[in-house]
Amino acid sequence: MTLSEAKEKYIQTWGTFATNWGINRTMAQVHALLIASERPLSTDEVMQQLEISRGNANMNIRALMDWGIVRKEFVKGDRKEYFIAEKDVWYLFKQITKERRKREIEPVISFLEELKDIEDKDTEGAKEFIKLMNDFSSVTGKINNIMDLAIKSDDHWLVGKITNLLK
């Protein structure tokens, strides 16, 4: 397989994997393209290489910038905007974990707290429901704490903890 074939396969497969994780396929492909590129790419280059519209390219690049994993890079002598992806895998892992926690876990925590605040708390059904919500809150809180540890940790500490869990 040539380098260009390997990169193409990486970009296409990464986009397919992303849909399994609840991430937009094109967004993952744009990210994979920028990670695999040895230089910053313009929106036009992203459009051409992925065969997507300007609007789709712009929307996904902006989303990746919002996630903090892609940034603008200025190319001397060129007025176009160029973009480059963060290539530090541990930084990417922590940044994506931080964003997923903010978008997925924190709203669930708030939602569960709201559901526990019911007026008729003294009925058997209410007590059972509140216990169920507390159990969900406990699990969600533990997931949140694990994500927080991953975000705040350095790569060596995290690898050590995971390795200890697997023994």
Label the pairing between strands 41-42 and 82-85. antiparallel
Label the pairing between strands 70-73 and 82-85. antiparallel
Would you state the CATH architecture of domain 3-85? Orthogonal Bundle (1.10)
Check residue 67 and report its DSSP letter.
T
* Per-residue model confidence as pLDDT tens digits over 13-35: 998 888 888 789 999 999 999 99
- What mean pLDDT comes out for the span 49-64? 96
Whether residue 155 is predicted with pLDDT greater than 70 in this model: the reply is no
Residue spans of the domains in the chain: they are: 3-85, 89-166
* Per-residue model confidence as pLDDT tens digits over 75-125: 888 889 999 999 988 888 888 889 889 998 999 999 998 988 888 888 898
Check residue 70 and report its DSSP letter.
E
SS3 category, 84 = strand
**Residues facing residue 82 across a β-bridge:** 42, 73
Concatenated DSSP letters for 12-23?
HHHHHHHHHTT-
Whether residue 64 is predicted with pLDDT greater than 90 in this model: the reply is yes
